[in-house]
Structure 1
Amino acid sequence: MTTDQTLHPLQRPHPAPVVFGAGAAIGTLGGMIGLGGAEFRLPLLIGLFGFAALSAVILNKAMSLVVVLVALPARLAAVPAGEVAARWPVAVNLLAGSLLGAWAGASWAVRMRSTTLYRVLAVLMVLMAAALVLTHVTTLDTLALPLWAQIPAGVAAGLGIGVVAAIMGVAGGELLIPTIVLLFGEDIKTAGSLSLLVSLPTMLVAFARYSRDGSFAVLGANLRFTATMAAGSIAGAVLGGLLLGVFPDLVLIPALAVILLISAVKLARHH
């Protein structure tokens, strides 16, 4: 890790209701569009709670992991496990790239200069905003690639998604779902379940890599903060799921994309 990657393992205490409420707000936003909301939580960790970039990424990864673990059984109840299991080649194809990408992405993140990491995060937030609009506003059609092209394309896509998910500390569903639809022709509902099966081991690999670095101390120093915000995120995700469809996607998605773009600008200017 470079010496200018300034970390603040122990932040000044934040009131638990504020931390829980922030997590709940993010979880609700994510739940209304069928995601965990980690892409919105990251700028909040940096801007509102004052964590340095790498610290925020590691905390975000820990919370994303908790949210995915909670969401997976509920998602498998919505889509029969047998139906998901029958698509195991899709998950294996993507994992062949995403596991390597997760390790590489986490390795790069801990070695980046602090200013570089802020800029990289800003660029990735713009990518997430584009993926959000692509997935929820446009109609996705399969590319219908032949098998000889589909397999390497899946590995390459998984590699890129693993890198992005590790650097941002997110589950990667924003990128996995459209990839599964486009490359493998699955419907959105099945793609959502498959994305969780891919993202869970991918996140564990990134988490393992981060745990080897001194920056991982931020998690142990902020366990109460992390647990409180994760609980809020889960509660918000449940509420967001209940509100699914209350706000039209044509209104909600562009608004959330704008939030990501504004966050990206702020991160790019962050010193």
Structure 2
Amino acid sequence: MATDDDLVPVRSTQSTPLVLGAGACIGVLGGMIGLGGAEFRLPLLVGLFGFAALSAVILNKAMSLVVVLVALPARLAAVPASAVAEHWTVAVNLLAGSLLGAWAGATWAVRMRGSTLYKVLAALMVLMAAALLVTHTTTLETLALPPWVEVPCGVLAGFGIGVVAAIMGVAGGELLIPTIVLLFAVDIKTAGSLSLLVSLPTMLVAFARYSRDGSFAVLGANVRFTLTMAAGSIAGALLGGLLLGVFPDLVLIPALAVILLVSAAKLARHD
């Protein structure tokens, strides 16, 4: 069960330029690899701004939701709606698991002790680093499973992704995109759009579960902080998109993975 220390920010005041700048840096990192950057935001919320684990997760979830809502129209404009609609069954298959996973993950997060949640978050950040390396430095081959195996695998994968996304407060694109490519043989560009369609309702379910707990009060107490960092993240993501391809993946991706691993080590040692 979450303690009072998990439900309120350790520091109640933050410099607006610092918050905006931090959000922009996170957005640039995410934009350069085509993601929202929420996995990089989480350790900053804990380490730089002093929020307790559960508070950081809820704030991260709120900001991820704002970023996805802004990114969705742009992403759908970049990929023809017909191409996305052609694979609607993929989204339904994953949602069948991810919605349940999101509710379960949020429930587990609010019931964990703060010290346990820090360690869980650290382990999940290592998972994100591995997913980042695999997705961006290897060629993903489809598994070509028969439908009777593909569908339950999709539900199970969706459930796991929903749990991870809810506990970390992220959209889950880092895991959804390779899953869609591997399981359903969808091209990676369309997979990115499908991942947003799965992420949005999944995040809303986790958000609804968090809203039932007293920990949700942290969001109301930090509305300005949340909107400022989200605005920075969106602006940074636009800039990061323009920088896409400027840095070779063989340099950028390992560097970002190291950032996640260092952040994971710091979270694991957090009391």
TM-score, normalised relative to structure 2: 0.98
What SS does structure 1 have at the residue aligned with 2:27?
helix
**Cα RMSD (Å) of the superposition?**
0.9
Q: Does the CA contact (< 8 Å) of 2:94 and 2:154 recur in 1?
A: yes
**Equivalences for residues 20-39 of structure 1 within 5 A:** 20-39=20-39
Runs of 4 or more above 4 Å deviation: none
Pairwise CA distance, 1:5: 5.4
Deviations 1:78-131 (A, max 9, x none): 000111011100000000000000000000000001110000000000000000
* Distance in 1 between residues matched to 2:194 and 2:216, nearest whole Å: 29
- Quick check: 1:115 aligned with 2:115? yes
1:5 and 1:54 in contact (8 A); partners too? no
Partner Cα separation in structure 2 for residue 158 and residue 261 of structure 1: 24
C-alpha distance in 2 between matches for 1:61 and 1:208: 11
CA contact (8 A) 2:9 2:50 kept: no
Alignment of 1:42 onto 2:31: no
* Residue 10 (structure 1) shift: 7.4
Distance 1:2 1:27 in 2: 30
Would you say the 8 A contact 2:2–2:113 is kept in 1?
yes
User: In structure 2, what is the Cα distance between the partners aligned to 1:247 and 1:67?
Assistant: 23
- Counterpart residue number, 1:77: 77
CA distance in 2, matches of 1:71, 1:87: 20
Note closer, same or farther for the CA distance 1:189–1:22 as it changes in structure 2 (3 Å cut): same
What residue number does 1:89 align with?
89
Measure, in 2, the Cα distance between the counterparts of 1:260 and 1:241. 20
Counterpart of 1:246?
Answer: 246
Query: Aligned AA for 2:83?
Result: E
Q: Deviations over 1:173-198 (max 9, x none)?
A: 00000000000001110000000000
Question: Which runs of structure 2 are paired with 1:110-149 in the superposition (5 Å)?
Answer: 110-149=110-149
- After superposition, the C-alpha distances for 1:30-68 in whole angstroms (9 at most, x for unaligned) are 000000000000000000000000000000000000000
TM-score normalized by structure 1? 0.98
How far has the Cα of 1:15 moved from its partner? 1.2
Is this contact kept in 1: 2:8–2:52, CA < 8 A? yes
| Matched residue type, 1:100 | L
User: C-alpha separation between the residues in 1 aligned to 2:48 and 2:137?
Assistant: 30
Paired with 2:106 and 2:7, the residues of 1 have a C-alpha distance of 16
Any idea what SS the aligned residue of 2:227 has?
A: helix
Question: Secondary structure of the equivalent of 1:12?
Answer: coil
Please report how far the alpha carbon of residue 9 of structure 1 lies from its aligned counterpart in structure 2 after TM superposition: 4.4
Contact 1:10 1:221 (8 Å CA) reproduced: no
Q: What is the deviation of 1:267? A: 0.3
Letter paired with 1:31: G
> SS where residue 105 of structure 2 aligns?
helix
- Match of residue 155 from structure 2: 155
Equivalences for 1:232-271 in 2 at 5 Å?
232-271=232-271
Q: Which residue of 1 aligns with 2:182?
A: 182
Counterpart CA distance in 1 for 2:127 and 2:244 is 24
- List per-residue Cα deviations over 1:130-162 (Å, max 9, x = no partner): 000011010000000000000000000000000
1:202 positional shift: 0.1
**Residue of structure 2 in register with 1:7 after alignment:** 7
Deviation at 1:235, TM superposition (A): 0.2
**2-structure distance, mates of 1:259, 1:69:** 26
Question: Is there any run of 5+ residues in structure 1 with no aligned partner, and where?
Answer: none
Q: How many residues of Structure 1 are paired with residues of Structure 2 in the alignment? A: 271
